[in-house]
Amino acid sequence: MSYRLSNDHIHKDLQGRSSYDADVIIAGSGPVGMAYARTILEKSPSATVLMIEIGSQDDPVVGEHHKNSIKFQKDIDAFVNVIKGALQSVSVPPADTYIPTLVGDSWTPPVNKDGSSSLIFQGSNPNQIREKNLKASAMTRTVGGMATHWTCACPTPHPEEIVNNPIPKAERDELYVQARKLLNVHNDQYDKNAKGDDISIRHNVVKKTLLDNLPQERNVQSLPLGVERRRDNPAYVTWTGANTVLGDQAKLLGTKRFTLKTETRVTRLVPDEIDPKKINGMLLRNLKNDKDELVTARAYVITCGAIGTPQILANSNLAGSIPALGRHLCEQSIAFCQIVMKNEIIDYIKKNPDWQARIKAHHDKHPKDPLPIPFADPEPQVMVPYTSKFPWHTQIHRDAFSYGDVGPRADARVVVDLRFFGRQEVLEKNRVYFAGDSSLKGEWVAGSTDIYGMPQATFEVERSQKDKINDQRMMKDMCEVASLLGAYLPGSNPQFMDPGLALHITGTTRIGKDPNSSVADPSSCVHAFKNLWVGGNGCIPDSMGANPTLTSVMIALKGAGAILDFLKTES
């Protein structure tokens, strides 16, 4: 296969090279990759960075959040289709293709010994066991990664969600401060403006209802978000994308110091023949012309997501020297429902003196509208954080996901989404592995590559009995919280979503001090190598209920600092 080029061929190309293509090569252009790039470019005025992205640049601004478009801020449900279009499934078992109404001399798949008939479509996975799959797990391949469509939620984890993190607490706290700055995190952009007026009627009434009815220990609060209200028109906001994290260093793009290669696959890393702890090169594939290229650097960083990063390491034949690769996988369960707000909440809005001027202006313009909520009223963004007694993270808002659009069923202004995120017990056996690695004894099988020609990812993930009990408690809590706000929207009754839909996988490249139970050290440098770093949600060694991006960027900042120190010693 094209990505299994012989080592002899590769090492021959490396011989005689007198200079590097860059000081640092970063695979992946999401917020974690950009955090590495920004830190290195800012703090080392002479350092050069080459960034590789398998996807295309789909926005004029490198890595911008697509939800910054006014049309989506006016109609959040329309953004659901953008998310669906961006996500590509990770592991899809072959489907039963028996068509009883197909007649005539038409080709059909052969019948298997068990009587089934299935067809392996491009990218489908014949090795995937249905009961152990993260069915809804997906990847976004574009400049900016999932930060082009994420919710921008950046809650600080509860201490129980970071018990395995090896970074000392004092250092971790400071890194969190820096990470919030890079992600432009605020928790007040839906509360009050500079004049003290409520910005969002819906946000404040939902928040008040929960504060009035839930125990104080639940700590109901505004959801911390990577978002800032626009100064030119406060009716709209600017959501954080990878471009936000990159900041002013975007000015260096296209110069000798910072190069971005798009629609380019990182195929594999090439270890040094003499020094087994050193990576000597990176094999790329230009997807536009299907030509291979070998690039070199002093340091390498792989930030291709919790699945893409171990995929590259496994395809580089490094799994044998990284025993924890792909293991200790954790993903969040999701309990979801949508409610239509109670009449008493709408009546409260009508009578609240703080909102009368706004309501009157709306009705003067739209006299036939029966609701006292302006069309441009911002959505609610409320959080009930993880606690020891209630060990799950809760977001109550009206945002876009790959599910949960309202459509014509109700007026979206009175619909509120409830999403409860449950943790998963950290178990070594829960893992993702890749076709052709030691798990398959080196045997390549039909359908063993994904649509990009890389080894197919296969999940072996099961929720423990402890997880199942906790999930049921979480569902009960969601129903009780929902009853405070309204009645269920038909079609969006309380339900658990497909495994993997949270897109918050952790653990597959986890950091730690023990090479047998972690992939990289506390600075994200892969244990078996001195010039290879990993980044992303996979580096998180814990099971989290909270959204993981803030923690991933925090970890990346420490990793970037380690690379800066490494470049000084290698120069």
Which residues are tagged catalytic? 504, 547
Pick the closest to residue 545 from 134, 139, 157 (CA basis): 157
- The span from the CA of 556 to the CA of 182, in Å, is 12
Pick the closest to residue 481 from 110, 132, 101, 206 (CA basis): 206
Helix (H), strand (E) at residue 140:
strand 138-140
Length of the chain: 571
- The span from the CA of 20 to the CA of 295, in Å, is 8
DSSP state of 332: -
Contact 449, 362 (CB under 8 A): no
What Å distances lie between residue 485 and 22, 205, 206, 396, 400, CA to CA? 55, 10, 7, 10, 20
Torsions phi, psi for 104 (to 5 deg): 85, -170
Contact 34, 560 (CB under 8 A): no
- The span from the CA of 426 to the CA of 327, in Å, is 10
Helix (H, G, I), strand (E, B) or coil at 511: strand
Torsions phi, psi for 395 (to 5 deg): -125, 125
Helix (H, G, I), strand (E, B) or coil at 292: strand
Contact 154, 183 (CB under 8 A): yes
- Which residues contact residue 518 at a Cβ distance below 8 angstroms, ignoring those fewer than 6 apart? 324, 510, 511, 512, 527, 541
- The span from the CA of 253 to the CA of 57, in Å, is 13
DSSP state of 98: -
In the chain, what's the furthest Cα-to-Cα distance? 79
Count of beta carbons in the 10 Å neighbourhood of residue 37: 30
User: What would the 3-class secondary structure string for 443-472 be?
Assistant: CCCCCCECCCCCECEEEECCCCHHHHHHHH
- The span from the CA of 122 to the CA of 256, in Å, is 39
What Å distances lie between residue 291 and 221, 271, 284, 285, CA to CA? 52, 21, 8, 6
Residue with tokens 């959505």: 379
Distance of CA 519 to the CA centre of its chain: 20
Residue with tokens 């009035």: 212
